[in-house]
Amino acid sequence: MNELEYMCAEVPAPSADALAKGHERLIAEVAASKAGSTRAGRGIRWKRRPFMGGLIVVGTAAAVTAAVAILPGATSTRTERLRPVSAVEVLGRAAKTARTEELHARNDQFIKVTSVEIADHRYTRQTWLSVDGSEVGLLRTNPCQFRSGTATCDVRLQNGDRPKGAPPMPFNGTPAYLRTLPTDPAALKAYIRAHTDKLPASKRPAEGYETWSFVVDHVVENYVPPKLRGALFDVAATVPGISVSKNVRDAIGRPGIAVRMKTGAGWQELIFDPVSYRYLGERGSTTPSGPANYQNALVKTEVASTLPPHRFLPERRHN
């Protein structure tokens, strides 16, 4: 058993009832979103993704950051003459790469993710998420996405279902939640389908959309343990209608190859390094060859011992 698996094994799992209710609610949001606009037009929240939408932004805490391990989102420096590849091949290679990259963290530490987002403006976003979910997290954006005219702002991240006054608890995105998900691709796909099938027929997303959305919800702006990350890309490869978009660039200008899918109001792409097939970021556009109206690039994923000095904005819910 490796260190991360040992760490996850020690985290008490949320109750089955709590997980079931949360997943059903989140999948219902996915179904509702397929008729909505592209990501550039959505409201601001920590993660703009229904499956990861259990977090809200609220009020106060403190400390000092100590990064002890890093997984860069950098591209490969090698250059090779690449033959044409299909979307299935790209995702297969991405899955293989994903299973080789791992962070090692203790329960009392935080996973820090740095990304760059471009929508109406360009933002640098940093999130600190408690490994076991026992501490509130932090989202820092520069410039501030929540208060116009403010250079930088800090907002609290915690479980949206947390009763007022209750202590922090594990939320979607932490090992306590991620360890409940299957790491076998077939089992993971069945898991997604089982929860989607609970929805009324009129609210079920189009074929393949619930799977694609689930994958995007988990890999974008997030650290996912290697086995699960690989399974997510393997599952994405089974989605009908996916295709390859070549010679693309992510939000910070890195060259990549993308796998894309048509969603309710446009096209959504997952971008990978064209040589190593490491995940780089996400891109959205209204037409297959049109300009991006939303981009997110993963810059760095690391382990931090504590939160940095910060000052939370007043309590506010971002749905």
pLDDT value, residue 267: 94
Give the Cα separation of 213 and 79 in Å (integer): 32
pLDDT for the residue 283: 96
pLDDT confidence of residue 177: 80
Residue 318 is predicted with a pLDDT of: 41
pLDDT of residue 279: 98
CB contact set of 305 (below 8 Å; sequence gap of 6+): 64, 65, 66, 68, 109, 110
| Helix spans in the chain (H) | 3-10, 16-33, 87-98, 175-178, 185-196, 209-219, 226-236
pTM: 0.75
CA gap 90, 84 in Å, rounded: 10
Any alpha helices (H) in 123-225, and if so which ranges?
Answer: 175-178, 185-196, 209-219
Distance, CA of 177 to CA of 133 (rounded, Å): 9
pLDDT of residue 39: 39
Give the 3-state secondary structure of residue 87.
Answer: helix
Amino acid found at 145: Q
132, 171 Cβ separation under 8 angstroms: no
If you search the block for the tokens 């992510």, which residue do you land on?
A: 250
Q: What is the pLDDT of residue 241?
A: 94
pLDDT along the chain (319 residues), means of 10: 36 44 44 39 38 40 39 51 79 97 91 95 94 88 86 80 50 69 96 85 81 91 93 98 95 97 91 98 91 95 96 66
- Looking at residue 23, its pLDDT comes to 45
Whether the CA torsion 150, 155, 161, 165 is positive or negative: it is: negative
Which pLDDT belongs to residue 284?
94
For position 288, what pLDDT does the model report? 85
